[in-house]
Amino acid sequence: MRHFFRVSIALLVLISVGNFSGCAPKQKPISETRPLMGSEVTITVYDKGQTRESLQPAFDEAFQVMKQLESKILLPGSDNELEKLAASAGGQSVPLSPQVFDLLMEALRLYDQTEKVFDIRVKPMLDAYGFGAKPHVPDDSELDTLKSLVAQGGLFVAGKSILLSKKGMGFTLYKIGPGYIVDQAAAALAGKGIQTATIQAGRLIRLMGESPSAQGFSVSIDNPSNPSKPIGTVYLPAGGYAMVADDEGAFEKNGKKYHMLLDPRSGRPAELCTAFAVHATSAAEAQPLALSAFILGPTDGLKLLEKFPNSSGLAFFGKNGHSSRTGTGPFANLSR
């Protein structure tokens, strides 16, 4: 888990929460940034009548929630429950905390709903490439062996305990865990009475409450092929926003680019898109949907989003040697 978690901290941030236009609040929003999830996480509160002092307990609690969950599902160490599962694979079941168990069940449910391309069992394939450590391109025979741990790897559930059926199996939550973490942070803020806020961790944003603008939360989207030139601004309702792109963990070998957005069916990096942005009802839904749509490609990826209420997306892809994009919902105006 360590190597591809570290990779995530080096990703170029392609999106940022912009300034709100129209119906601007009378006071400036109040933000706090702390290092988490291998990057910097910024919480911004837009509620009127708040001061930094009055918001400090809410900031502290939200960041503490994120820190505790990070140690359970992202950071290597004795608290990481996924590492315990992998270590016991093919042997004995491992009891999990309710939060981690429920998250794993949600991830497994999404496997069926995403045409089996969002597969948290893909960890052995990610490990084989050595992203962020010692890059390596596995050959076909190596990937064929790994498929027995991914596509054919089973698990047994008893209560809130899980047994991975084969030694060498492992789960990765790198494309749902961060989304779940910022969703839980938003819940913690709401518990402290916060009504409108954003939580941003790189390409991932949780939009919470009713936007101060009648148009929605303003998100500026950069072009993944030229980050210095934003392609425009999209206005989104509350929920989650996530973008994935083919620069994630990327390395080149023999003139070919390899990134960590693997198609679990083949074990090879997906090639139909260069990036995919998704807005969904939560960040924990937006992240896996962005990855799944990226793997499926522009047409099938956007079609997949139709199955999820209130979801929309923007696909970036190459066409006739040129960069192109197509979007739905709020992203449609950014298409060309």
3-state secondary structure 242-304: EEEECCCCCEEECCEEECCCEECCCCEECCCCCEEEEEECCHHHHHHHHHHHHHHCHHHHHHH
pLDDT of residue 336: 61
Residue 153 has a pLDDT of: 78
pLDDT on residue 224: 81
282-303 mean pLDDT: 98
- On whether the CB atoms of residues 125 and 150 are closer than 8 A, the answer is yes
Name the β-bridge partners of 45.
30, 197
CATH topology of domain 81-164: T-fold (1.10.3980)
Among candidate residues 190, 212, 206, 191, the one with its CA nearest the CA of residue 48: 212
Average pLDDT of 71-83? 96
pTM of structure: 0.90
Max Cα–Cα distance, the chain, nearest Å: 63
Residue 3 has pLDDT above 90, yes or no: no
Predicted pLDDT at 132: 80
Asked whether the predicted pLDDT for residue 7 surpasses 50, the reply is no
Q: How far lies 148's CA from each of 143, 168, 187, in Å?
A: 9, 10, 38
Read off the tokens for 122: 């893909």
pLDDT tens for 9-41 read: 333 334 444 444 444 445 799 999 999 999 999
